Amino acid sequence: MASPPRFDPRPIGVFDSGVGGLTVLVALAARFPEERFLYLGDTARVPYGTKSARTVAAYTLRAADFLLQRDVKGIVIACNTASALGMGALQAHAEVPVLGVIEPGAEQALAHSRGGRIAVLATRSTVVSGAYPGAIHESDPARAVQSLPCPLFVPLVEEGWLDHPVTATVAQTYLAELQADVDTVILGCTHYPLLKGMLEGLRPDLAWIDSAQAVAQRIALWFEHGVVARGARPADKPPIECVVTDDPVQFGRVALPFMGSIPLGSVEMVDL
Amino acid sequence: MASPPRFDPRPIGVFDSGVGGLTVLVALAARFPEERFLYLGDTARVPYGTKSARTVAAYTLRAADFLLQRDVKGIVIACNTASALGMGALQAHAEVPVLGVIEPGAEQALAHSRGGRIAVLATRSTVVSGAYPGAIHESDPARAVQSLPCPLFVPLVEEGWLDHPVTATVAQTYLAELQADVDTVILGCTHYPLLKGMLEGLRPDLAWIDSAQAVAQRIALWFEHGVVARGARPADKPPIECVVTDDPVQFGRVALPFMGSIPLGSVEMVDL
């Protein structure tokens, strides 16, 4: 078997239904500055979290096809709903490695939990899929899991109401449903990490799991194990290029709070 | 010129981005029991109110094409955002009469106002389009208009939080922005009439305009003026058939609170 090339200049594709996956993208770009990333946000059809399994799987496959046409060396499904409902079909279909956010998040939750129940806050479609309990039970079949749909968090985050009293009231309403033996909570939607400060403030006794770092850790393993070769980004190439299915200007505006210190490169519009 | 046929058994097409247009559909079905209605909800791509003019116009044209293929005798665009952004292209394109919700709503607001400022509560895309101020100024160029985006109302209604304290707080937050000289408020999104009771409770001094009745009034004029012929629905034909682009079962569940006493007929799924 030929040894893999030492460097692979192709980008890593990162897919999300909209802007939420930028929380994962930013974690990856910060940790792997030598890589190029191609972010695809399906902003013309966002959100996925309220849509059916069949529709989400079809959208996820179309998005992956697009990224493969753009010659990515690997695909990260940053959207929890797409990971929950589209990964199976996608892994059978793609000729490059594919990573979702469910399994890394579940693993990180198990590492942080002191043996209590693990709660999953997620969109309704992710909850209905049972993907998180499934991933947790792969490692620990007896672990108690509570799934809690939090459908209003996405529109509140997209409004930018991160510190708004309404958002605090909604959060309190949802968290009141947590069972008493929960010790660890998975933020099972890429929008939710933007509320992590507020949620930790309401329940500082719980471990709050954001899968972005867990995903970055898995990508580090891709490189270590030679699943894909590292990049070697020239200084004049931007680390991030974005493709969206709706207005690029609107995307840029909503994306900014997610980006931290990472510069947002070009934003192109396509019809999927 | 041949006189128009006395009866036309074809359905009237009613289009919305999702379930919100059912408020208009129900008003039409109640007023015209002899008609058949074909409701198309683009639930796989809902919401439109956060998307760009270009994308909404493209979706609206595709939806109209579908309704025309199903041989409707007229089209009602029940979605305010689609009316605001897609009507121009559509009226040039369709070979049957097309009615949006903007103009009837604007006219009804002018009829109810005592000369004060007219406020329009709507999605961000409808506000940005300027369609309501445009329609109001067609009749009364000097009338003061205030446009107020209320993007959280749609997800709150879709959650069914119609009487929830969070919804009341969100409503208070939005209504606090109303200028002092407002006397009439247009509910410029088909979801908002489900909050009419709460909004009227908060500001009983204002006239609250729901365009569903105004749309029904315009359809009555279609019949009176022979723009289209009346239907003659046999008792064994359901008054309403629905087509959606995502899961029909989920649609049925969310649709129920909108329907009142009107029975929901078949729900079919298509890919647009």
Are residues B79 and B25 located together in one domain of the fold? Answer: yes
Answer whether residue B237 is part of any domain. Answer: yes
Nearest CA of chain B to the CA of A1: how many Å?
Answer: 45
- Say whether A247 and B52 touch across the interface (CB within 8 A): yes
The predicted model scores a pTM of: 0.90
Which of these is catalytic: B102, B136, B189, B240?
B189
Are residues A18 and A60 located together in one domain of the fold? Answer: yes
Contact A173/B at CB under 8 A: yes
- The dihedral through the CA atoms of A253, A255, A261, A267 has a sign that is negative
Give the residue from A179, A196, A211 where a domain finishes: A211
Q: Is residue A3 scored above 80 in pLDDT?
A: no
Are residues B204 and B144 located together in one domain of the fold? Answer: yes
Are residues A72 and A171 located together in one domain of the fold? Answer: no
Contact B170/A at CB under 8 A: yes
Residue-averaged pLDDT of chain B = 94
Query: For B177-221, what is each residue's pLDDT tens digit?
Result: 999 999 999 999 999 999 999 999 999 999 999 989 999 999 999
Of B57, B100, B46, B95, which is closest to residue B77 (Cα–Cα)? B100
Angle at which helices B131-139 and B80-93 cross, to 10° = 70
Give the residue from A211, A235, A257 where a domain finishes: A211
- Say whether A154 and B155 touch across the interface (CB within 8 A): yes
Q: Which of B50, B173, B247 sits opposite A52 (nearest CB)?
A: B247
Are residues A111 and A146 located together in one domain of the fold? Answer: yes
A253 — pLDDT class (breaks 50, 70, 90): confident
Are residues A94 and A17 located together in one domain of the fold? Answer: yes
Answer whether residue B4 is part of any domain. Answer: no
Alpha-carbon gap, residue B109 to B79, rounded angstroms: 18
Nearest CA of chain B to the CA of A231: how many Å?
Answer: 35
Answer whether residue B91 is part of any domain. Answer: yes
Alpha-carbon gap, residue A244 to B37, rounded angstroms: 36
Are residues A77 and A20 located together in one domain of the fold? Answer: yes
- Say whether B52 and A246 touch across the interface (CB within 8 A): yes
Hey, of B17, B48, B51, B61, which one would you mutate to test binding to chain A, going by the most A CBs within 10 A of its CB?
Answer: B51
Alpha-carbon gap, residue A73 to A83, rounded angstroms: 18
Answer whether residue B5 is part of any domain. Answer: no
* List of chain B residues with pLDDT < 50: 1
Nearest CA of chain A to the CA of B51: how many Å?
Answer: 7
Contact B51/A at CB under 8 A: yes
Give the residue from A195, A211, A227 where a domain finishes: A211
Are residues A237 and A255 located together in one domain of the fold? Answer: yes
Chain A residues in contact with B154 (beta carbon < 8 A): 155
Alpha-carbon gap, residue B164 to B156, rounded angstroms: 9
Which pair of tokens denotes residue A243?
Answer: 């493709």
Are residues B124 and B87 located together in one domain of the fold? Answer: no
- Say whether A52 and B151 touch across the interface (CB within 8 A): no
Which pair of tokens denotes residue A50?
Answer: 């309220």
Are residues A114 and A202 located together in one domain of the fold? Answer: yes
* Domain with B88 in it: 12-100+213-269
Q: Is residue A5 scored above 80 in pLDDT?
A: no
Contact A130/B at CB under 8 A: no
Query: For A78-130, what is each residue's pLDDT tens digit?
Result: 999 999 999 988 888 889 999 999 999 999 999 999 999 999 999 999 999 99
Structure confidence at residue A2 (pLDDT): 55
Contact A152/B at CB under 8 A: yes
- Say whether B50 and A158 touch across the interface (CB within 8 A): yes
Q: Which of B55, B170, B250 sits opposite A246 (nearest CB)?
A: B55
Chain A residues in contact with B43 (beta carbon < 8 A): 51
**Between vectors from CA A130 to CA A127 and to CA A133, what angle results, nearest 5°?**
105
Contact A272/B at CB under 8 A: no
For residue B17, the chain A residue with the least C-alpha distance is A45
Structure confidence at residue B3 (pLDDT): 61
Hey, of B59, B159, B173, which one would you mutate to test binding to chain A, going by the most A CBs within 10 A of its CB?
Answer: B159
Answer whether residue B62 is part of any domain. Answer: yes
The residues, any chain, with a CB within 8 Å of residue B197's CB and separated by 6 or more, are none
For residue A169, the chain B residue with the least C-alpha distance is B166
Contact B156/A at CB under 8 A: yes
Are residues A114 and A97 located together in one domain of the fold? Answer: no
Q: How many CB atoms lie within 10 A of CB B174?
A: 18
How far is CA B21 from each of CA A155, B40, B68, B123, B151, rounded to the nearest angstrom? 20, 9, 18, 14, 17
Q: Is residue A255 scored above 90 in pLDDT?
A: no
CA atoms within 13 A on the CB side of B62: 14
Indicate if B79 belongs to the active site. Answer: yes
Chain A residues in contact with B250 (beta carbon < 8 A): 52
Are residues A94 and A47 located together in one domain of the fold? Answer: yes
Of A37, A45, A50, A182, which is closest to residue A117 (Cα–Cα)? A182
Question: Residue A162's domain is classified under what CATH number?
Answer: 3.40.50.1860
Answer whether residue A5 is part of any domain. Answer: no
Query: For A34-73, what is each residue's pLDDT tens digit?
Result: 999 999 999 999 999 999 999 999 999 999 999 999 999 9
Chain B residues in contact with A154 (beta carbon < 8 A): 155
- Say whether B246 and A45 touch across the interface (CB within 8 A): no
Number of domain units in chain A: 2
User: Is the Cβ–Cβ distance between A126 and A81 less than 8 Å?
Assistant: yes
Query: For A165-223, what is each residue's pLDDT tens digit?
Result: 999 999 999 999 999 999 999 999 999 999 999 999 999 999 999 989 999 999 999 99
Answer whether residue B6 is part of any domain. Answer: no
Q: Is residue A1 scored above 70 in pLDDT?
A: no
- Say whether B44 and A44 touch across the interface (CB within 8 A): no
Question: Which of A25-39, A134-148, A250-264, B181-195 is least confident?
Answer: A250-264
